[in-house]
């Protein structure tokens, strides 16, 4: 009842100022906006809470269903969960269709775009992950066709809907994710948050399936080695496969799951930024032309490649040895920990060097408001806690254990280094993202007229020619190629803004200092090497954890200290966070590499 | 190594601009600040992450220890956990001592104060909770004295240190919690965050003890009724009590735990606001003189009192009946749910009326940056998820269950209403906190010169006399009685600010509209009644949950759907959040009552 009322009010204020999607967006506004705001009927802060609470409840319904599913005695079945997921995906599909059609109809004026949201390389990466997800869907459908007689139709419908959902969503992200929505805000808030939480639900579903698979294969190993006393349930359907490819499909699936899981969590993060952008008033921004220079970037990539290839070696060795015999398992674990200690030591060192380089420079920080960057920092911090919890548990179990396997102390130092590595890497990434881009990279280039980034203090390159570039700033937020219609802004507004801008620019250009550029160039090269090295290391550590290296189960130390059920709960919650952390820092480090 | 380096740098920049504790604080600053910022060595964003990560890791060590403790087979003992807690409390004590001594030495200039942090009624409430905590400590010591021969000394040291810690902390909060720290920032960031997480650890410890107690008494009831097949462990020490009061102490303790738990979580929230305030640049603010008028506030308190007294009745009935027999338990549960449905229905209705009243008004919103308010909103949202998760689990178990007890559908509607109630109450509280205070309450008062709240748009009362009040605004952030020394600000700075301020004021005073004040007065009375009614209802629901009404265990529906271990995990995580939610909304609703 309430929501309808709110929507009606929203339609009346379509041309409102789009004020304050978050409390602080409000601040840099002229008195004009204040007046509009006063007359604005619907408080935007509440609009956010209204849709945010809906999204959280949607997620909680799904989590409750999955929790019930995990108890074998409950009446909730796999097909109930899948039916629920199909329903939420269909709702999202209809909403996206509505949005696309509406945008096509009202193409004028072109929507404002947030250039920081969903950069093209991020969207490219997502497309790759989406293709792998589509292959997974195909395998699922193949598996269903084989066992059609004895499987519920939902098991076949789910991958088909998921495939359609994936394709439409990738299209939507490519075309619309940068949009800053300013019309019908409340309805679109619900749509976007629904999309965010649909993807989070699909992520949860992937995580649960994956965790179940890992647990099963661990129990199978235990039974094979004659250690455990678990009974293995039969998960095969009760009929014969008609296509003879069912087993192949089933086994291949588990190599594709990690990609599907990463795909959904990344989509939800990107869409969350879109949601935060609704009703936002853009500050002046302009695209940064990224010129990737690889001169002098050798040590980082080489060391990174060494780390990557040795990881693959360790992965293969580990998987072969760990199920072989008790002694082989012990040596496999020891090898894994030793390898981990070496790679983490190098990561800590390089991160620290990066931070020391930053400390030795007097470069300014960029504290402007960019929702996507803020979210990046917060996600790095929050997802690191998963891995920290596991590490502290390991440390406590090593200290308190009465047994003393070969890998006891290597496990201890591995956990300790893991804590430091994430601590330092977070500091390095977050500081890198908040530093103002230097653009004295090449003095031979002549005067650079690019204006970097955003905010209450615009950053200028040191060699700036003010006059010619200036008039272009005002509408830089609109991507010029999309502006087929006449600009909506009145001349007066433009003049006013130009005036404010002018004042700022002239003030700031005075305070820009002169630096010795040669020295910086060298430092920058080191930081670039560090970023690319850490990038490769994080990929390596993601692969190890995603494809079966889980010493947290195999070493038995934590299990004896915390008990199997408590420890598997901790791992099942912390491991997905850890995997997301790795992938997310890969993305962030790539951004650092481009930016430095 | 890194932290030392950082600290050294901090000491060099003691007189820095105190810039940007959060990215957005940066925005409203003059070019002056920009220049200073540029020369500032240590990036404040990173300083926050540096200390924040330390705090999270401290918490995780404690959580790991408590997790290990919960497994009976582990080597970790209760005394290890207590020793760890004693150590962190001692560190906090030393830090607070250092801080107080340092402040006493350098009294000039008086620190800036955030008037929104730790209001006096909040501090008063805290003091009450602290006194109950001290009584609890006394009981703990009495219990230890009785069993001294066979208990580890740590069990006696812990309550003694806790008592000292409580007294010093309450003193610290009364005197220093509003301080905006601008010197030695990094060191103080670590100190304050250590205090925050020490209190969170003590909260966790309380929650674990309480959950253990609830589980034990549930199991005891099950055994008494002959339903369960759990074996009860013996938790008594292996020697005789020498004082004959041990049992009394032990039983009384469990009535005091809920207060101790609330005390610690509230302290950590208040200290967290202090941490967010470090290095913050205050915008102009001035105290709001709160005049509590109770004319026309009758229906709310009366209905609230009815709710409160009937809650006490339900609590007593429930506790007596639930352990009596299977039939009595079933009727106790049914009574509880029926009572819950009635109270929640009224809460939903009154919340909705409040929101409709807000919709019918064109009042402006206040989107200024107030860390304590932002935290309030976020905490309401986050802690509500705990209860939502439990409710959705209940709904799914009611739908999927094959049994059909008497309370099946009352439980269903109770859970559904619980979701709606929190949804609506959050919207109501958050909107109330973000509305600009109306101050046309009494036209006979003459021109009101108070300036409410903060920020990029200052709010003025409708009948404002600009000239005389104006010069007082500039330093309003300093509490005048503490200003014994000469103001640090140079005349030039003052003039500049005055100029900016002047412009703002004159601009905004134009856009202030005229309202019909009589109508508003009536509406305000209704909102005040609603706030006080919801206030009493939330206290009632807190008491019910804190003192033993936990149908989540007793009704057996969820247990059969999710399994005992999964369900008790969910309840043990969600219930503390739910209790905190109730207490926190009590505090917020009181603020709403004062503000409206």
Greater confidence (B338 vs B501) lies with B338
Closest-CA residue of chain B to A64: B393
Cα–Cα distance between A562 and B67 in angstroms, integer? Answer: 7
Three-class SS of residue B435?
strand
Cα–Cα distance between A479 and A336 in angstroms, integer? Answer: 49
pLDDT given for residue B483 in this prediction: 40
Three-class SS of residue B459?
strand
pLDDT given for residue B108 in this prediction: 62
Closest-CA residue of chain B to A503: B31
Tens digit of each residue's pLDDT (9 = 90 or more) over A11-64: 333 333 333 333 344 444 444 444 344 334 566 777 888 899 999 999 999 999
Tens digit of each residue's pLDDT (9 = 90 or more) over B403-431: 888 888 999 999 999 999 999 999 999 99
Best CA proximity match to A577, nearest among A136, A265, A308: A265
B282 phi and psi angles, rounded to 5 deg? -70, 140
Interface touch B367/A24, C-beta < 8 Å: yes
Section B559-580 average pLDDT: 90
Interface touch B427/A50, C-beta < 8 Å: yes
Cα–Cα distance between A312 and A308 in angstroms, integer? Answer: 7
pLDDT given for residue B503 in this prediction: 44
**What dihedral angle (degrees, nearest 10) is formed by the CA atoms of B198, B199, B205, B207?**
-150
Give percent above pLDDT 90 in chain B.
42
DSSP conformational letter for B237:
-
Contact with chain B for residue A10, Cβ under 8 A? no
pLDDT exceeds cutoff 60 at B438: no
Interface touch A68/B562, C-beta < 8 Å: yes
- Inter-residue contact A419 to A578 (CB < 8 Å): no
Q: Hey, of A348, A383, A392, A421, which one would you mutate to test binding to chain B, going by the most B CBs within 10 A of its CB?
A: A392
**What dihedral angle (degrees, nearest 10) is formed by the CA atoms of B568, B570, B574, B575?**
-10
Cα–Cα distance between A307 and A315 in angstroms, integer? Answer: 12
Cα–Cα distance between B199 and B266 in angstroms, integer? Answer: 9
pLDDT exceeds cutoff 90 at B230: no
Cα–Cα distance between A395 and A305 in angstroms, integer? Answer: 30
Cα–Cα distance between A99 and A108 in angstroms, integer? Answer: 15
B150 burial level (CB within 10 Å; 0-12, 13-18, 19+): exposed
pLDDT given for residue A588 in this prediction: 93
Cα–Cα distance between A198 and A89 in angstroms, integer? Answer: 7
Best CA proximity match to A252, nearest among A326, A141, A370: A141
pLDDT given for residue B14 in this prediction: 31
Three-class SS of residue A113?
strand
Q: Would you state the structure tokens that stand for residue B594, as one six-digit string?
A: 């004062």
pLDDT exceeds cutoff 60 at A566: yes
A194 phi and psi angles, rounded to 5 deg? -60, -45
Cα–Cα distance between B228 and A85 in angstroms, integer? Answer: 36
Helices B153-176 and B120-146 pack at an angle, to 10 degrees, of 170
Cα–Cα distance between B242 and A563 in angstroms, integer? Answer: 36
pLDDT given for residue B271 in this prediction: 93
Look up the ipTM and state it: 0.78
A173-187, A274-288, A451-465, B559-573: which range is least confident on average?
A451-465
Q: Would you state the structure tokens that stand for residue A363, as one six-digit string?
A: 């470069």
> What is the rounded average pLDDT for all residues in chain A?
78
Of B29, B76, B367, the CB nearest to A45: B367
> What is the rounded average pLDDT for all residues in chain B?
78
Greater confidence (B28 vs A232) lies with A232
Interface touch B456/A46, C-beta < 8 Å: no
* 344-383 of A, contacting B, C-beta below 8 A: 352, 355-356, 358-359, 362, 364-365, 367-369, 374, 377, 381
* 44-73 of B, contacting A, C-beta below 8 A: 44-46, 49-50, 52-53, 56-57, 60-61, 63-65, 67-68, 70-71, 73
Greater confidence (B11 vs A555) lies with A555
CA angle B2, B5, B8 (to 5 degrees): 150
pLDDT given for residue B20 in this prediction: 36
Q: Would you state the structure tokens that stand for residue A484, as one six-digit string?
A: 């087929």
Contact with chain A for residue B560, Cβ under 8 A? yes
Q: How many C-beta atoms lie closer than 10 Å to residue B151's C-beta? A: 18
Tens digit of each residue's pLDDT (9 = 90 or more) over A420-460: 999 999 999 999 988 876 554 443 333 333 333 323 333 33
B367 vs A contacts (CB less than 8 Å): 19-20, 23-27, 45
pLDDT given for residue A116 in this prediction: 78
- Inter-residue contact B423 to A53 (CB < 8 Å): yes
Cα–Cα distance between A439 and A451 in angstroms, integer? Answer: 10
pLDDT given for residue B30 in this prediction: 40
Q: How many C-beta atoms lie closer than 10 Å to residue A317's C-beta? A: 17
- Inter-residue contact B154 to B285 (CB < 8 Å): no
CA atoms within 13 A on the CB side of B56: 19
Cα–Cα distance between B377 and A46 in angstroms, integer? Answer: 10
Residue identified by tokens 């909102």 is B527
pLDDT exceeds cutoff 60 at B476: no
- Inter-residue contact B357 to B523 (CB < 8 Å): yes
Backbone φ/ψ region at A365: left (φ over 0), alpha (ψ -120 to 50), beta:
beta
Three-class SS of residue B366?
coil
Interface touch B23/A368, C-beta < 8 Å: yes
Q: Read off the pLDDT band of A243 (50, 70, 90).
A: confident
Tens digit of each residue's pLDDT (9 = 90 or more) over A80-110: 999 999 999 999 999 999 999 988 887 666 6
């Amino acid at each position: 009842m309430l929501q309808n009322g709110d929507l009606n009010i929203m339609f009346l204020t379509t041309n409102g100022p789009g004020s304050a999607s978050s409390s602080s967006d409000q601040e840099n506004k002229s008195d004009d906006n204040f007046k509009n705001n006063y007359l604005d009927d619907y408080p935007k802060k509440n609009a956010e809470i209204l849709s945010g609470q809906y999204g959280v409840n949607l997620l909680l319904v799904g989590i409750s269903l999955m929790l019930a599913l995990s108890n074998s005695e409950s009446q909730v079945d796999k097909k109930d969960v899948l039916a629920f997921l199909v329903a939420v995906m269909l709702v999202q599909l209809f909403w996206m269709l509505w949005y696309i059609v509406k945008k096509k109809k009202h193409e004028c004026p072109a929507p404002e775009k947030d250039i920081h949201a969903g950069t093209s390389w991020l969207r490219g990466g997502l497309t790759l992950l989406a293709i792998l997800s589509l292959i997974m869907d195909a395998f699922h459908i193949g598996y269903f066709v084989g066992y059609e007689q004895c499987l519920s139709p939902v098991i076949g419908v789910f991958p088909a809907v998921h495939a359609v959902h994936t394709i439409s969503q990738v299209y939507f992200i490519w075309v619309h994710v940068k949009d800053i929505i300013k019309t019908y805000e409340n309805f679109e808030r619900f749509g976007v948050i629904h999309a965010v939480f649909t993807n989070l639900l699909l992520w949860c579903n992937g995580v649960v399936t994956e965790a179940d698979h890992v647990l099963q294969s661990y129990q199978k190993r235990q039974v094979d080695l004659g250690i455990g006393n678990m009974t293995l349930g039969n998960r095969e359907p009760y009929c014969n496969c008609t296509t003879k490819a069912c087993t192949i499909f089933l086994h291949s699936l588990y190599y594709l799951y990690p990609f599907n899981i990463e795909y959904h969590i990344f989509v939800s993060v990107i869409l969350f930024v879109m949601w935060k952008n609704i009703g936002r008033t853009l500050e002046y921004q302009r695209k940064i032309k990224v010129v990737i220079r690889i001169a002098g970037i050798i040590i980082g990539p080489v060391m990174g490649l060494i780390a990557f290839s040795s990881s693959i070696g360790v992965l293969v060795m580990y998987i072969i040895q760990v199920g072989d015999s008790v002694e082989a398992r012990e040596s496999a674990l020891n090898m894994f920990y030793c390898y981990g200690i070496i790679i983490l030591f190098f990561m800590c060192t390089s991160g620290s060097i990066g931070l020391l380089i930053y400390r030795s420079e007097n470069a300014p920080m960029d504290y402007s408001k960019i929702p996507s960057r803020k979210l990046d920092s917060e996600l790095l911090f929050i997802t690191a806690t998963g891995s920290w919890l596991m590490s502290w548990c390991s440390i406590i179990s090593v200290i308190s254990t009465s047994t003393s396997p070969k890998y006891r102390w290597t496990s201890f130092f591995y956990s300790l280094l893991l804590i430091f590595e994430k601590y330092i890497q977070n500091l390095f990434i977050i500081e890198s993202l908040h530093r103002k881009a230097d653009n004295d990279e090449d003095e031979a280039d002549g005067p650079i007229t690019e204006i970097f980034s955003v905010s209450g203090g615009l950053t200028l390159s040191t060699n700036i020619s003010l006059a010619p570039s200036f008039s272009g700033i005002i509408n830089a937020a609109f991507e010029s190629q999309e502006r087929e219609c006449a600009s909506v802004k009145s001349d007066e507004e433009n003049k006013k803004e130009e005036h404010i801008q002018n004042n700022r620019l002239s003030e700031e250009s005075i305070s820009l200092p002169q630096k010795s550029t040669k020295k910086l160039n060298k430092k920058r090269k080191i930081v670039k090497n560090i970023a690319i090295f850490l990038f490769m290391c994080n990929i390596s550590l993601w692969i190890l954890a995603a494809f079966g290296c889980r010493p947290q189960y195999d070493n038995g130390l934590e299990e004896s200290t915390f008990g199997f059920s408590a420890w598997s709960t901790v791992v099942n919650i912390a491991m997905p966070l850890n995997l997301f952390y790795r992938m997310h820092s890969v993305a962030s480090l790539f951004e650092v590499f481009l930016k430095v």
